[in-house]
Amino acid sequence: MQVSLVVAAGEDNAIGADNRLLWKLPNDMKFFKNLTWGMVVIMGRKTFASLGYKPLPGRMNIVITRDGSLFTPTPTLKIAGSLESALAVASEADCNEVFVIGGGEIYAMSIPHANTIYLTRVHSVFPQADTFFEFPESDFFRKQHNFFAADDKHAVDYTFEVWERVNTEV
């Protein structure tokens, strides 16, 4: 099973502040929805809270939390106590690819398992950020990138990037 990360980060690697995104990029939201639709997504408790404690529709949602009593599992919401158990639950779903969607701590734990990173690079700096995404670029190569200029719906320039692990024996 391939582990992929889906993340949007500023030039300073900022991904959020106060458990919220720092920008509004409708095309990024569309990209995210299309990429993860019908798939398994793994997220941390804080990311799940930022979604209003509601599973993303059209996907199996796995939430990593130390307190499994916080949520009631359903067919589209599973609870895991660790990244390893989340990956085990995902493998039971018979999927070829699972998407890690945040937050910062979950991304950091997932990097050693990641084959692919779908990165939306937001071309701005966010001094108010309190959460960051760091990955060892030397372990990955940028396979693809598409630049988009700011427009009436997108306040900042951004680039969709796909990074693949250089050494695929993860």
**127 lies in which domain range?**
2-165
Rounded to an integer, the average pLDDT of 90-115 is 95
**Could you give the number of structural domains in the chain?**
1
Using pLDDT thresholds of 50, 70 and 90, give the confidence band for residue 169: low
DSSP reduced 3-state for 133 = coil
Residue 135 lies in a domain: yes
pLDDT digits (tens, 9 = 90+) for 120-161: 999 999 999 999 999 998 999 999 999 999 999 999 999 999
Q: Is residue 170 pLDDT above 80, yes or no?
A: no
The structure's pTM equals 0.94
CATH number of the domain that 158 lies in?
A: 3.40.430.10
Residue 33 lies in a domain: yes
Tokens at 62, concatenated: 């796995």
Residue 145 lies in a domain: yes
| Sign of the CA dihedral with 7 first, then 164, 61, and 80 last | negative
Residue 48 lies in a domain: yes
Q: What is the DSSP string of 59-104?
A: SEEEEE-S-GGGS--BTTEEEESSHHHHHHHHHHTT-SEEEE---H
Residue 159 lies in a domain: yes
Residue 109 lies in a domain: yes
Residue 23 lies in a domain: yes
Residue 170 lies in a domain: no
